[in-house]
Structures are given as structure tokens and as C-alpha cells.
Amino acid sequence: MKTTGEGEREYRRSELLKLAAVAGGAVILGGPAALAKAAQEGATSESGRLQVLDWVGYGNDGGQSMFAQYVKTHPHNKPQFTHMTNESDALAKLRAGLKPDLFRPYVGWVKYFAESGLVQPWNPKLISNFKHLNPFMVKAGQQHGKQYGIPDDWGFDAILYRSDKVHPKARSWGLLFDERYKGRIAWFDDLEMLVIAGLYLKMAKPWHQTDEQLKRSQDLLIKKKHLVRLIWASESDLWQAFGSKELWIAYAWPNDWVQMKNKHLKVVYMRPKEKPIAWVGMFMLLKGTPRPHLAHAYVDAWSSAKSGKWLENNYGYGHANTVARPSSSALLKALQLTNPKAVTEPAAHLDRDIPRRAVYARMWEEVKAS
């Protein structure tokens, strides 16, 4: 995937011209230092609270440390949050008229949103921490030679289970479909469940299933749905059910393992033999935002090593800043932070674009309605 081209050069030129207007032309002659100064001046010239569409736990409900530097620098433009439960929910909110300045879908949606006309590319030169971000993840955020996604948090979709209650026959996604544990299983409310079914059924391209393959995946989920006690959309619902010992097995993320460990439950975060699905959070900039420089400043704060370490220590997720390191050596090993390609083959399947996403979405809704 190329990273530069005529379109990118034109974008950078237009951004320089905008900054030049703020800095009286000095940015053109002053190089990076003048560009950084002009960016700061651009941010202070923007008004209103920064509007952020993000997941639960990443706003003023626990994630304040991730953007503390932004709030310190821009106290009059503190972020205001709207929650999204998944990318489909975010898309529905945008189409319904919500106008955030930025939001954070995951890597499998980069191509979709980049081509949707809803977002515009970032200018990495305005993000001082950009140089520390994992190059592999940075490349995954590019489309048509432009940086549409700024990578920050990352982790895995895998299986959480109670080791004192559950005895897997194999390290497999099949544990989510195990008849022995009826009423003790949780699935995630997302069309990704069809991808999981495809992996379990040994399909070579579960993100590109044919009609026949999708029918097989859907049939498996419908057949096994009676085992499921909870299809969760909010992690707090999962934590409550798992923490109250109603659940023993769940489609889960690393933070869920951290939360249940904190409740002193005997839990294992299984890496299935079919491989976990890896995701990378990608900040995206809404087209026409009146606060582009404030948005860049917010993402810069999120991208710092200090923020990355906090995320790793408290949520158990990895961070794209390669300088960030958790305090726990066990967590360092579990997240494979010394491996810059922990999120891709052969360690994991990096989530990716689903060309027929609307079909997957419809079939997942049919599973839930069955």
C-alpha cells in the first residue's frame, strides 16, 4: 500500500496553506518547528467543546488519563462524548445527523469509512507522537495513499473462561458452541460472530464468505444460540453477568480478563487454535469538522507513551506507541509487546474489510431474531 502520491502531496500542501493563514506565512519558511507552532495556534483559534464519538470507558467514565494532556492544554475545549456500541451503531448515528469531530472505529472498517465520504485524512505532521506509532499499524490505517486512521489501542477477540468450571476439549472457538455449558455462554452482539463461525468451520476467507458459506455459518449460530445466556453489547453487562458467576464462557477482550481477575475469579484468556482476531483502534476525522486542529491535539495526547502505559496497565490492551510499556512483565508477555506484528499472521488474524458487510449484518440480525 503506497504512502505518498499526488493526492497526499496536494493534501499536505493545502494543510500548509491553511496553517500559513494562521501563522502569517511563517510556517512555509520555518519548517517543522513553525508547523508545530502554527498547529497549536490553529487549535487555540477553534471554538467549542471537542465532540468525540467513542466506546464506553474511554471518555469521562474512566478513560480520562488517555486525554489528560489535551484537557490540560485546551481547558476551554474539553471533549464531550457520545457512546458507540460498535461500528454499525456509529454509522447509524452519523447517518442520523450526529456530527462528532472524530470517532474510533476498528481496523476492519478503515476502507469502508475512507470511501464513504464521511471522513477526511489526518495530517501526521500535526501529531508529535506519530513517529512512535507501530509502522505496521500505521500502514493498516492508510487508504489511497492517505492516513485515514491513526492507530492507538489494540487487542484480541478471543475466549474468556472460568478454569474452575470449564474444561475445554480443545483450544478452539468451538468452546462458544459447547453443548456441555448451556446457559453459561456469552456471545458479542456484532456481525463478527459470522466470521468466528467461519473460522471454526475452517473457511479460508471468513471475511469473504460466499452465499453458501454464509448460510453454513448462520445455520451454526442459529443451531447453537440456545446455549447462549447473554449476547452482550456493553462490557459492563458482560462484567456484571460474568462477575456474578452466571457466565463461565464468553467472547471477550483482554480488558474483560483483567476485570474478572480483579474480582479474584479463576479465569483464562484462551488463544484459539484457529487464531484470535486482532483489532486496532483507528481514530478517524470527520469530514468538514470545525475543530480539525483540536482533533489532532486530542489524538496526539492519546498517542503518547504515558497514555499508552496507562492503557496497558489498566485495561490490558496494547498501545500502538512502541515506547509504551506496562509495569507488569506478565502483561508485557501476554500482549506480545516486543513483537511489532503480534496482530497479524502467524500470531493472529488482523480484522479486515468485509466487502459484503450489509449482507453479514442482515444475517446476524436474523440469527438474533431466530
Exposure b/e, 244-262, CB count within 10 A at least 16 = b: eeebbbbbbbbbbbbbbee
> At the fourth CATH level, which superfamily is domain 47-153+279-334?
Periplasmic binding protein-like II (3.40.190.10)
Task: Name the residue among 86, 157, 173 with its Cα closest to residue 349.
Answer: 157
pLDDT of res. 329: 81
pLDDT of res. 341: 82
pLDDT of res. 23: 39
pTM of this prediction exceeds 0.85: no
pLDDT of res. 26: 44
Can you name the CATH fold of 155-277+347-369?
D-Maltodextrin-Binding Protein; domain 2 (3.40.190)
* Positions in the chain short of pLDDT 70: 1-43, 335
Q: Helices (H) and strands (E) in the chain — how many of each? A: 14, 14
Task: Name the residue among 135, 163, 117, 176 with its Cα closest to residue 341.
Answer: 135
Strand partners, 151: 282
Domain with CATH 3.40.190.10 in the chain: 47-153+279-334, 155-277+347-369
pLDDT of res. 33: 55
